[in-house]
């Protein structure tokens, strides 16, 4: 395919060409924003290594009822409505690895952003949350921590 045929296609199908350019820019923006978000997303295997190797603090920002239904072992529950990066639980670990999770990973991403804004240096986020943990066939603990 030559450049001339690509330009001819773009001229004949302007809507498709604009859609392609728009989607490409959106993907680029998302990926560049991810690089500068200040926290790193991890999968369940990476989280396991982080907890075992670096003794990371795991904070689950799920609602208490969801937390009690099943959570990752040794996770500390702090409901998002009460999440405060300056709390007693988090105040002494600003330089240590802190990983956040929730049921699906959506709420915990907001918690990770708040930790970064509060000056935490090593913030991790479980991409997909506890649901991803379950899909990886890793165990959950029921009840309160």
Which residues are catalytically annotated?
Answer: 102
Between the alpha carbon of residue 23 and those of residues 5, 12, 129, the distances in Å are: 21, 19, 27
Q: How far apart (Å, rounded) are the C-alpha atoms in residues 144 and 70?
A: 9
Three-state SS across 52-93? HHHCCEEEECCCHHHHHHCECCCCEECCHHHCCCCCHHHHCC
């Amino acid at each position: 395919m030559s450049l001339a045929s690509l330009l001819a296609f773009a001229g004949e199908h302007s809507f498709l060409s604009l859609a392609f350019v728009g989607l490409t820019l959106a993907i680029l923006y998302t990926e560049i924003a991810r690089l500068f978000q200040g926290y790193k997303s991890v999968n369940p295997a990476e989280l396991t290594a982080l907890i075992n190797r670096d003794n990371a603090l795991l904070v689950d920002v799920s609602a208490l009822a969801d937390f009690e239904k099943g959570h990752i072992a040794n996770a500390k529950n702090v409901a998002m409505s009460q999440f405060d990066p300056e709390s007693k639980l988090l105040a002494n670990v600003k330089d240590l690895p802190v990983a956040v999770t929730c049921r699906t990973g959506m709420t915990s991403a907001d918690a990770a952003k708040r930790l970064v804004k509060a000056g935490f240096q090593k913030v991790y986020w479980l991409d997909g949350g506890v649901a991803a943990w379950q899909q990886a066939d890793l165990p959950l603990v029921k009840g309160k921590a």
